[in-house]
Structure 1
Amino acid sequence: MKVFCTDFDLLVGNSSAEDPLMTSLYLRGDHTLLNSGKRVMITSWMKGLSYMPQLVVRIDRAGKGFEPRFADRYYRRAAWGVALADRQLVLDRLSQRMDPGVAYSFDGSLAVGDFCPIEELRSSRVTLLETEGATPLRESSDPLPLPSDDRINEVVSAVAQLYLLKTGDCICFPLGDEYKAIEGGHYLFIAEGDEELLRIGIE
């Protein structure tokens, strides 16, 4: 299983969420995946933690080298997700010429909710909430913006020009303009009204 992320420029502090794929694509190992309700620890060797909400599209048909107009034949379902990153540690590791596959990710650095037809996500009004215990600290007043169908198809097709996509592979799309820092003792929720769709605790 491969996990493709498309927000490297945001991860290292650049500003565009739709930079050319060749500069923004990187891989996270499947060991990074985390289910809703789990916790992530900021360990002594880490320098901090930041987060970015994501749309996680799951491939359900193997393929390679197809055009964007055929891309929607290769996926049907998607899930809300949250990518976590120690951005300073990533930059330090890359400057030391560490293998990028090691530098980018750690266990539990990509939390993913339940997959459902992507049309259901488009019809929902979902927000992101950060809390300290039961105290809300930061809540998005606007629903999380989803990439257009054309953007998803363009990226899925572009990835398929480089890799053989297999059933179960995931392609992640950032749903924000920047990674935001988060402290230990805080929680992140993605919710639609009172319905919790994804929850992560930070220790």
Structure 2
Amino acid sequence: MKIICVGRNYADHAKELKNEVPTEPVIFMKPETAILPKRNPFFIPDFTNDVHYEAELVVRINKIGKNIQEKFAYKYYDEVTLGIDFTARDLQQKLKEKGLPWEKAKAFDGSAAVGKFVKLSDVGDLNQAEFTLDKNEIRCQTGYPKDMIFPINKLIEYVSQYFTLKIGDLIFTGTPAGVGAVAKDDTLQLMLNNQTLLKLNVK
């Protein structure tokens, strides 16, 4: 199982980090060890002083596919959830300044928190769905799939040119504006259409 992540897929988020809005998807990977075990808190690593949350819609692939056309991409997933792409922002900035890969800042153990999956049939029109992240009961992020620069089916087409998609693979589809730092004893709650899919504590 692999975790494929999409960076800068919401224009407002790209702008808040002073990044250019991309003309093609920005892709990076997390290893399976990045998955935060269920019911575990998120522990801030010792190697960073500035960890940020990034709430994202997550798609789980349900069949093997390669070179998938966008018009057929909908056949390759029937469940979604919300996740958090935890990012060591200080380390990421140092790596970016040197033109180096981001993995140390993005793919460390526990950096991918994944919520409870729900059937697309229970979500309704996914494009019009609303997902949110609350930190300590304060709304910090609100996102809508319709605002993605590259929609889910386009992402599947693009990614499958380079990587064969397998059953269980996860695609983190990008985060909207509103990312911010986490601190010990914070509580994070992610909701899709007001249904809680993930709640965790920071240690």
Greater mean alpha carbon deviation, residues 36-45 or residues 150-159: 36-45
**1:46 Cα shift?**
1.2
The verdict on how the C-alpha distance between 1:152 and 1:80 changes in structure 2, with shifts beyond 3 A counting, is same
Equivalence for 1:111: 113
Q: Is the 8 A contact 1:77 1:118 kept in 2?
A: yes
> What 5-or-longer segments of structure 1 have no aligned partner?
none
Tell me what 1:164 maps to. 164
Which position in structure 2 is the counterpart of 1:129?
134
Secondary structure in 1 matching 2:145: coil
Secondary structure at 2:187's aligned position in 1? strand
Is residue 185 from structure 1 mapped to residue 189 from structure 2 by the alignment? no
- Displacement of 1:41 in angstroms is 1.8
**For the residues of structure 2 that align with 1:159 and 1:165, how far apart are their CA atoms?**
8
Pair 1:152–1:100, CA change in 2 (3 A)? same
In the alignment, structure 1 residue 39 sits paired with structure 2 residue 41: yes
Q: How many residues align?
A: 195
2: CA distance between counterparts of 1:100 and 1:111?
18
Calculate the TM-score normalised by the size of structure 2. 0.80
Secondary structure, counterpart of 1:199 in structure 2? strand
Q: CA deviation at 1:200?
A: 1.7
Matches within 5 A, 1:28-177: 28-95=30-97, 100-122=102-124, 126-131=131-136, 136=137, 138-139=138-139, 144-147=143-146, 151-177=151-177
Give the deviation of 1:197 after TM superposition.
2.0
Distance in structure 2 (CA, Å) of the matches to 1:125 and 1:162: 30
- Aligned residue type for 2:94: D
Deviations 1:6-48 (A, max 9, x none): 01585892457x73344x1100111111245321222332121
CA RMSD of the aligned region, Å?
3.0
Closer/same/farther in 2, CA of residues 67 and 190 from structure 1, 3 Å limit: same
Tell which deviates more after alignment, 2-11 or 107-116: 2-11
Deviation at 1:125, TM superposition (A): 5.6
Q: Which residue among 13, 19, 22 is the counterpart of 1:19?
A: 22
Flag structure 2 segments of 5+ consecutive residues without an equivalent: none
Distance 1:31 1:167 in 2: 17
Compute the displacement of 1:169 (Å).
Answer: 0.8
Closer/same/farther in 2, CA of residues 143 and 89 from structure 1, 3 Å limit: closer
Q: Secondary structure at the match of 2:54?
A: strand
CA distance, structure 1, for counterparts of residue 51 and residue 161 of structure 2? 33
| Distance (Å, rounded) in 1 between the aligned partners of 2:75 and 2:99 | 38
Residues 92-112 of structure 1 deviation map (CA, whole Å, 9 limit, x = unaligned): 245456554444321111111
